[in-house]
Each structure stands twice: as structure tokens, then as C-alpha cells.
Amino acid sequence: MRSRPIAVLFILACIAVVTAAAHAQGTRHDSSASQPSEANVQAIVACLSQGREAVMVPHFHCEPYGVGAGFAQSEKMPVALSDADWNQVCRSTDDPRHLPGDIIKRIAARKDAIAPSGIRIIGGIFCGDIDLVGLDLPYSVVIDYALVNGHLDARNLRMRGDLSFEHTLILGNLLLNRAHVDGSVYGGSSFIDQLLVNDSLIDGTWWQSDSLILSDTQFHRSSFSGDLRLDNSAFTQLSVLSTNIGGTLGLNNSEARCAYHINSSSMNYFTASGAGFGRMQAVPQEADIEYPWWDRTLSLTKTRELFDSPAVQPMVTTALRIATAPRPHRVQRNLASGVMRGCERTSESAYAEFYLFDSNVRSASCITLFAWLAPKQPRPAEADPVSILALNGTRVTGNLIVDLAGAGGANPPPGSDGYNLTVGKHKLEAIGASAGALIYNFDDEAAPYFTYIDGLNFDRIHNAAPACTGDMVQLATQVELPSSDKVLRWLEKNKAPSSQPFAAFAAAFERAGESAVNLRVGRQTYDLCAKTARFATLRWLAAVTGQCPDRDESADPAPTAATEQDLAQHPGDIPASGPAPSRGILASITNNGVDLAMLAFNWGLYGLADYGLRPAKVVWSILITVVVFALWFWLRLRVVGFEPKREDGAPSTAAPDIWPLGFLFLFDRLLPVYHIRDEHYAISKFYRPAARGELKAASAGSAPKPMSVLGCKVSVLPISEAQTRHVEKWLVVLRVIGAIFTIFLVAAIASLTK
């Protein structure tokens, strides 16, 4: 029963939106129905024919080239223009500021009358759609500081100059389809409802910084000889698809409500310092209705003026109303689970997505001070929104520069509640990305984010704190090779079931002439842990060693289509999760005996020689074993010496030759392959220290014999036959251990040689 009032509210909201849109459309038709007098048009043409500017504020007057902007700024045109003001202008046919949408076509029809400086109209009020469809203009068109009550339609436009709409409010869409502009496009500090650039060619640069594009922003299958600059701009979604940019794609300090999708494009530079998302907001008295909204751009002076302008505020309010309207259950079922509000018609995703996919950056890509989607304030106890920075399939010929450390003091300290709430909601995804050099700030251990890295490939690796400034890249710290420990700690953030990143970093270290043993050991340990986790009977071993992460708890908390596809390519690398199989230990050993034996061997090789990468490590194991057995024989078994068997022909009455049971003896018995002394293997008796009472009660026939132990004179007596058999058993144990050491040492040397 509760769904019925919600459905009613949703229907009422939709009716309100449709009514508002119809009213706006009706206003456009009404305003454009009243055409200005031909005399006004003639006055503008006469001004333009002199190479001057037609300035429409506070009234029409003709000014020299470049002077009109000052008049528009003094009148705060168009951001201070109220609805009543521009509607009054459009209702009057005598007001010279009343400009019809086809005025540029009417002016262009008089080709001989226009000076080479082109059509320059400053501060105009265009009462309807601006029609540039199919025009072939030999000069520039400038409509700066204007208000356009409709669309700017430039389909099939051919222009041999510049197109400028700076400081302009376009209350409809800008459509630039199949167009060719020989010059540049200037749209700084402008407002557009929707920007659609498809199959177009711009021979210059597209400058549109400090702007607000309320809905979708598309650059599809287009080409720019220069830059595409959208710095300090705000939009709901930016989509750059199959587009070639000869210069820089600049997104510094830009902000999107839903997503950045840059796919299958090429550019010379890519800069995104301070780019990212805004903050989640909540509807008052509706705690369950949360939506992403702009945050940082609202504090910028130029974009704030666009948000607050009277002509734009109704459109922003309508967008906010749509994003916060209650969703009936019927509508909710038709949406993908968890789609963020306001993003249903753009990204259609539950995540805030910054995607740089399958693109080619010819020189350098720089991403620093990335702005993750922030939670609402006060911070909720439940899950925060998830934001993803993904570089899948991107190829950077030069430097791939990334710094996710954030501003100083901006991150909660590791281990705090804020850190634990945040770390699973910030994801860096790089699948199949490649670069000539990876410059990364590995000193970001306090930054709360996790990674999904697989198929990473680069030639060089550097550690630095970079800064992106326009087209320039400044390094705040000296570029240096990171320590392998820092890289290993960074790789601990990775949730991908792949050890490939270890190999990529190891290869880069070796190309730099540095040892990569730690990284190669880390890779083999990762693979060994993954194999061990498949066996319920050996999971305790992974836990005891402390080398294996808990893969069940480390699952990717924000799986995307790309990560799911990557997981499908590694079915054998995904450790078993959930409860252990019901089969017993005996069945596991019977069915997987060979695998279990190999796992045990590899764990032993890891413990003794780091998989053969450090064969010298076996020496320490041998020394420790010899010392432990020496203490065992001396202190526990109380055996300190032995008497070798007499040579044939030696007199039986000769004094016994007692040798110390020391380190050399134990080493020789541990590794009999060396066979250092024959006497160590032909033993007649073992001797122990004589007690004080035995020294006093000794008879002539059983008197203790003197020997030297570690430089000290000790009186010893032979042990009994039962004790001798016990000692010989321990010597067998020592020999078995030595055989194991020999096997692992041979395997280690073979692995190192390979």
C-alpha cells in the first residue's frame, strides 16, 4: 500500500517537469514569433560591414573591435538578466536587442557587406534557436555575453574562422554535427543545457573553461588539431568517444556529477589535476534519498555566477527535482540496481566513474589530487558512495603520472573509523594499461583506496610527488626509483587475483639495474598462497606463515564489467571461498596427493631459499641446524665426544683417541656428501662428561679419560649401549634433515640458474 502514494508523487513530479518544459518551449515560440524590424537588422549589418562590433547592451550601439566586452561586463550581461527582462525584450519588436534565431543566416546572405573580422554581436538576446545549419561562412561568428532562449544548431556548418560563445547562456542545446571549423571554438564561462559535438573537425582549439553544462557533454568521433580544454568546468557526464586531439585534453579542477567516459580516443597530453566528483546530498526529512551534486565548482567565482543566474536557476531546480523525485517500485524495478539518482539517463551506473579506456596518449598523462565522490555531511555510518578511477587498456607512450595521496591532511589516519569506512569506496582500476614510464607517488600509504591491477606494463618506474599545471608537469620531489618495500606495500592494495603486477615491477627494477629479488619472491609467494587456499587441509598453513592475505575478505567491493571480465580470464587463480569442503583430510590427500606434495615442497623451498632466488639463505638454515643439534647433544643427551674405531693393527692397550663432538662433526653428518673425515663415520664409543661423584669413586679400570672441549679440559666417560643407540637415532634424524637440505639446495641452485 505504501507504493501508491510514492507513485502518485512521482507522476505529479513528472507532470510538473513536462509542464515546465512545455511552458519554456511555448515561451520560445511566442518570443520568436515577434520579429524585430528590418531597420534593426540593417543597423547591425552596417556596423559589421565596418569591421566593428554590434554591442546590444545597454542598448544597441556600434563599437570598435574588442570594445564590446567591457560594456557587457559593466551590465553583468547575461548572468544578471532576469526572466522578466529578456522576455520583455523578446515581446517587443522595436527593441533593438531583440535578435531572431535566423539573424546570422540573414546577415550571411549579404556576403559582400561583412568585413573580414566576421559577425561579432556582443550582449545579444536571441529570442529562439540560433540557426547555423548548413552555413558556409568565410569568417568568424562571435555571440559573446549573450542569452540564447533555445538551441544553437550548427549541423553541417562550414566556417573559415572562429566560433565564439564566451560568457553566454544557451538555455537549450549546442549541436555541432558534421561541422568543420577552420579556426578555434571559444566557450569559456558559458552555460549550456546539453553539448553535443559529433563527427566534426576543429582545426584549432576548443576552449571552454569555467563553464557549466547541465546535462550530457559529448565529443564523439571528432577531431581537434589543438587542445580540448574543459578546465574548472562542471557537467553531469563528460563523454569523449573515438576522438582525436592533437594537443591536450585538459580537465584540471573539473567536476562531474555522474561520470567521465573517455573511450577509444587519442591525444598528445592528458591532464586532470583536481578533477573528479562532488558530494552526496540528502533530501531533508528523506534520509533514504541521496543524490550526487556539484561541490567544488560551486565555490569557484565564475561557475557560481552561472549557477546563481536567474535564467539558469529554474533549469538547475528542475534537474534537482528530477534527481530527488521518489521512485515508484515499478520504476525502481526497471532501473539497474543502485543506479545513482540523476544518472539514470547518462552513466546508468551505481558508481561515480572516471574512465580512461582504450585510449592512446602520445606524450604524457597526469592525474593528481583526484577528487573522490565525497559522502554527505555529517558522514553516515552506512556505506559511502563508490567512485572509480579506471585506466583500462590505455597506452601512454611517455609518462603515466599518478598521485592519489591527496592534499596534506585531507585523509583520515589509517586504522581510524573514517579510514576504514573510506578505503573500500575508492578504487583505482588499471587492466591492460601500458606506459613508457610510470611516475607514481608511492608515499601515499595513508591514502584510503584499493586497487584492481592486472596486465600492467611499463619500461621504467619512478617515485615522485608530481603536479600538473596546464601542459607542464612539475615534480615536487626528486624523481627516484621506489624501494621494493614501498612497491610491495602498494601491491597489497590489489584485489585482482593476478601476480602479473609483481612481474611488471620486477622487470622495471632490473632494467634500472636494481635488484628485484623481493618482488620476484613476492610474486611466487602470491601464487603459492593462491594455490594453497584451494585446499581446505592447508589453509591453516597459509594463516600460520602470515604471508597470505585473507582472500575471502579481500574480494573487490566494487566489481565493474571490466573486473568481472578479467576475473573470468583467471578462473584458476581465484582462491576458494566460503565454507571448507565436506571431504576429510584422508580424501583430500588421496585425491590431491601430488599437488599437496608439491605445495609442501614449494613452501619448504620458500622457507629455506626463497624459491631459489636466495640460495645463500640455506646456509643460515644449515648453521642454525648445526647449532641446535650441538646444544641438543651437549645439554640434553650429554654427549661431548666420540672415539673413532682403531685402525687394523693398532694395539688394544693404546690410550683412546677421543675426538670432540663439535660443529665440524655435526656438519659432516648433516651433509655426508662432503665426507670431510672418515673418523666421523667410524665411531667406536661416545663419551659424556663425568660427574663429580664419578671422579671420586673412579677405580683404576674405569677412570675418566681427559679430552678438550672448546679449549677446556674435561674428564669424560663412555656412555652405555642403550644411550649409544639413542644417539645414533638422532644422528639418523640429522642425516635425514641434511638430505632434505641437499634436495632444496639443488633445487634452489637449479632455479637460480634457470
Cis omega (within 30 of 0) on the bond before 378? Answer: yes
Cα distances (angstroms) measured from residue 8 to each of 11, 86, 606, 611, 738:
5, 36, 67, 68, 82
- pLDDT recorded at residue 633: 93
pLDDT tens sequence across 659-715:
999 899 998 888 888 888 888 988 999 999 988 777 766 655 567 888 887 778 888
Percent of the chain with pLDDT over 70: 82
- pLDDT recorded at residue 182: 97
Is residue 91's pLDDT more than 50? yes
The answer to whether 145 and 164 have CB atoms below 8 angstroms apart is no
Half-sphere exposure of 646 (CA within 13 A, CB side): 10
In terms of Cα–Cα distance, which of 262, 257, 230, 258 is closest to 243? 262
Q: 553583468: which residue's cell?
A: 76
Interhelix angle 593-609/517-532, rounded to 10 degrees, is: 150
Query: Sign (positive/negative) of CA torsion 737, 741, 742, 744?
Result: positive
Q: 602479473: which residue's cell?
A: 500
Please give the average per-residue pLDDT across 11-24, as a whole number.
41
- pLDDT recorded at residue 538: 58
Instruction: Please report which confidence band the pLDDT of residue 657 belongs to, taking 50, 70 and 90 as the band edges.
Output: confident
Domain boundaries defined on the chain: 498-608, 618-647+655-752
Assign 654 to helix, strand or coil.
Answer: coil
DSSP strand pairing (712-718 vs 244-250):
unpaired
Distance between CA atoms of residues 227 and 200, nearest Å: 14
Please give the average per-residue pLDDT across 715-741, as a whole number.
90
The CA dihedral of 479, 483, 487, 489, to the nearest 10 degrees, is: -130
In terms of Cα–Cα distance, which of 326, 333, 336, 340 is closest to 4? 326
What are the residue ranges of helices labelled H in 610-720? 617-631, 663-670, 692-696
Chain-centroid distance of CA 106 in Å reads 52
Chain-centroid distance of CA 609 in Å reads 35
Is residue 164's pLDDT more than 70? yes
Instruction: Please report which confidence band the pLDDT of residue 382 belongs to, taking 50, 70 and 90 as the band edges.
Output: low
Segment among 172-186, 406-420, 456-470 with least mean pLDDT:
406-420
- pLDDT recorded at residue 711: 76
Give first-to-last CA distance, the chain, whole Å. 72
Distance between CA atoms of residues 718 and 667, nearest Å: 23
Distance between CA atoms of residues 119 and 47, nearest Å: 10
Interhelix angle 83-91/3-33, rounded to 10 degrees, is: 40
What are the grid coordinates assigned to 727, written together? 644417539
Q: Percentages helix, strand, coil for the chain, rounded to the nearest 5? A: 35, 25, 40
pLDDT tens sequence across 419-458:
877 888 899 999 999 999 999 999 888 888 999 999 999 9
Q: 534537474: which residue's cell?
A: 319
Is residue 4's pLDDT more than 60? no
In terms of Cα–Cα distance, which of 440, 340, 426, 356 is closest to 395? 356
**DSSP conformation letters of 151-168:** -EE-TT-EESS-EE-TT-
Half-sphere exposure of 383 (CA within 13 A, CB side): 11
- pLDDT recorded at residue 527: 84
Instruction: Please report which confidence band the pLDDT of residue 316 belongs to, taking 50, 70 and 90 as the band edges.
Output: very high
The CA dihedral of 125, 129, 134, 139, to the nearest 10 degrees, is: 10
The more confident residue out of 385 and 551 is 385
Segment among 211-220, 321-330, 352-361, 465-474 with least mean pLDDT:
465-474
Interacting residues of 583 by C-beta distance below 8 A, sequence separation 6+: 591
Instruction: Please report which confidence band the pLDDT of residue 158 belongs to, taking 50, 70 and 90 as the band edges.
Output: very high
Is residue 29's pLDDT more than 60? no
Question: Length of the chain in residues, anyone?
Answer: 754
Instruction: Please report which confidence band the pLDDT of residue 26 belongs to, taking 50, 70 and 90 as the band edges.
Output: very low
Is residue 23's pLDDT more than 60? no
- pLDDT recorded at residue 12: 40
- pLDDT recorded at residue 678: 86
185-222 CB burial, b ≥16 within 10 A, e <16: bbbbbbbbbbbbbbebebbbbbbbbbbbbbbbbbbbbb
